[in-house]
Each structure stands twice: as C-alpha cells, then as structure tokens.
Amino acid sequence: MIELLVVIAIIAILMALLLPAVQQAREAARRTQCKNQMKQLGLALHNYHDVNLTFPMGTRRPVSAPNWRIGLLPYLDQAPLYNTLDIDSQETVGGFSSEREDSGSYGYGTGNNSILAGLVVPGWNCPSSDLSTNASGQSPTYNNAERGQTHDYVGIAGGTPDPSGSSGACSGVLGYGGIACENGLLYPNFSKRMRDVMDGTSNTMIVGEQSGLVGDLDIRANYHGGWAGFTTGGRPSQFTSSPWGSGTTTVRYPINADETICDSSSGCNSTYDLNTTLSSYHTGGTHGLLCDGSVRFLSENMAMETLIQLSVRNDGTVMGEF
C-alpha cells in the first residue's frame, strides 16, 4: 500500500509539472492559428485589391450596409455564402444590421441575408479568446438580437493624434468622446489603393486583433453585429455629430487598455465607439496585420507614438523594429 501511494504521489507530481507545459503548448498552437487567420485576411485583401484595384471601404453608411468583412468573403473560400447574400439590400430590415427591436426596425429579415443570423464563418475569431462568436445582450449592449457574428479582427481607420501634424486628417472630439480619422486604410465611406500607402506596406497596419476584454467588458467593434455599417456619410475628418458603427477603429489608446482608460467619455467604452482598443488573451500583446501581408506581434508595452505611426499610412515614418 505504501509503495502504491508513493507511485501515485510521483505521478501526481509529474502531472503537476507537465500541466503548465501542456497548457503553454496548446496556447502556442492557438496563437499560431490566430496569426495564420490574419495572414489569410492579408491575402484576401491583396486579392480583393488585385480584382477591384482598391481596398474595400472600412465601413459605410447606412448602418444596414455591409462593412469590409463582407467584401472579403469571396477571397476567403466563402464565395457560396457571398453569392447567397443580397449585397444591394441596405434597408433597416433585410440588410446587414442584426438588431431586431420589438418594433422590428432593424434586422436581417426573412430574405437572403437572414442566413447571417447565428452564423459563424470560420477564420474570423481567434481560438485563444474566450469571448462569444455571436455576442448579444451583454453590457455594453451590442444591439445584436439576431446574433450576427462578433469578430476578433478590426479594420484600422487610422491613428490620432495624427503623427504628420496635419490638421485635416482627423475630426475633433465627437459626441461619444471619440475621434474619427482618415489617415489609415479602412475608414468609413471611402476606399484607398495600395499607392496611397505612402509609408510603405511594411510600415502600415491595416487590420488589428481585437479579441480580449476591456476590464471585464467585451468591447469589440461589432455593434449591430460584426457585418454592419455606419450611421454617418462623408469624410471622417469632417464629422461633427455622434457617428457610430461596426468594423473599424481609429487607434487612440494603448494595446490592452483597461477600464481606467476607457472611461465614460474616452471613445472606447462601448462597442459602437470610434476608438475601441486592440486587445487579446495572448500574453503581452496582440497581433497586427501589415499591408504587405505579414503579421507582427505587437507588445502591449510598445510606445504609443509607435503604435499610432504604424496605424497611419502617410506620416512619412519608417518604422524599423517595433
């Protein structure tokens, strides 16, 4: 009996020693898959540009219009889904907004786009994240009653304050405390070309990972569901009201910023805000997809100035190592 207990104790000690290593190996595999998914997004963006001679709009008015994520579906082995959708439908009911109020004023409806209700398209959620792929009814609200997919990868609209010192790249502080910029590549209502990446494709981020919490809140850019559009037309630098939408962010705060930074007036405390933060469950930072198609791990300790420069396409900064 004593020998048996000794053997069991030895096995228990070995398991205790091995378990952290096994968990680390599993997380390394999940992190690699997350990185590879972003590389696929990079290839899809390049293929989209080859066909259309431009990148997709980051998002656009009205809120029931599709954002950039829908446009990439044919280049992510999702052509059958894309061909099923009614891209021309941008009505409040029947478009790409997943909110369905008691009045029925928004929602996917019963037409072609109803297929998006509850649908999870592979490749848009990081396996390291514990967050829901169809989040609804959480605080702050998603207005996502029909459970459109909530994505972990967000388009980069630009960065603020503008590192070039230009006065025409960003709006002022708007009604929800956010700032909108058009110095990135995926911003509202306009599309940019590869030739607009003046800093070089290896110095400019086009998509960021957004798969973690802000404090204890899930604030990913998926208001009205992750496929939805924007409420205001025109140029971001000229916004004067309180616009909101899904799919993009203007970088303004550090990676993995917490609730002490994203307070009630900062522009990153709700899913509809203009400055939702880049975040993840990976230790020490998050991933960023550069315009050349490479994916880099971005440390949460990187200088804020460097992160903003990386988010801007035309500030004239050569990044080097970061």
Q: What pLDDT digit, counting tens, does each position of 130-155 carry? A: 999 998 876 677 899 999 999 999 99
pLDDT at 21: 57
Percent of the chain with pLDDT over 70: 93
Element at 248 (helix H, strand E): strand 248-251
pLDDT at 249: 98
- Residue 214 inside a domain? The answer is yes
**Torsions phi, psi for 54 (to 5 deg):** -165, 160
pLDDT at 157: 98
For the chain, the domain total comes to 1
Chain-centroid distance of CA 12 in Å reads 42
Are 268 and 251 contacting, i.e. CB atoms less than 8 angstroms apart? Answer: no
315: closest CA among 188, 187, 158, 193? 158
Positions of the chain with pLDDT lower than 70, given as ranges: 14-25, 102, 138-139, 319-322
- Residue 288 inside a domain? The answer is yes
How big is the chain by its Cα radius of gyration, in Å?
Answer: 21
pLDDT at 28: 80
Are 314 and 199 contacting, i.e. CB atoms less than 8 angstroms apart? Answer: yes
Q: Is the peptide bond before 56 cis (omega within 30 degrees of 0)?
A: no
pLDDT at 16: 67
Neighbours of 12 (CB within 10 A): 10
Angle at 283 between CA 282 and CA 287, to 5 degrees: 45
Alpha-carbon distance of 111 to 113, in angstroms, equals 6
Environment class of residue 5 by beta-carbon count within 10 Å: exposed (0-12), middle (13-18) or buried (19+)? exposed
- Residue 318 inside a domain? The answer is no
Residue indicated by tokens 């990868």: 153
* CA neighbours closer than 13 Å in the CB half-sphere of residue 8: 5
- Residue 145 inside a domain? The answer is yes
pLDDT digits (tens, 9 = 90+) for 54-86: 999 999 999 999 999 999 999 999 999 999 999
- Residue 56 inside a domain? The answer is yes
Please list the alpha-helical segments (H only) found in the chain.
2-52, 68-71, 79-84, 304-311
- Residue 192 inside a domain? The answer is yes
Alpha-carbon distance of 227 to 44, in angstroms, equals 17
Residue indicated by tokens 């880099």: 296
| Pairing, β 285-290 against β 248-251 | unpaired
Alpha-carbon distance of 123 to 60, in angstroms, equals 23
Chain-centroid distance of CA 136 in Å reads 17
- Residue 111 inside a domain? The answer is yes
**232 is in which domain, residue-wise?**
2-311
- Residue 141 inside a domain? The answer is yes
| Pairing, β 205-209 against β 285-290 | antiparallel
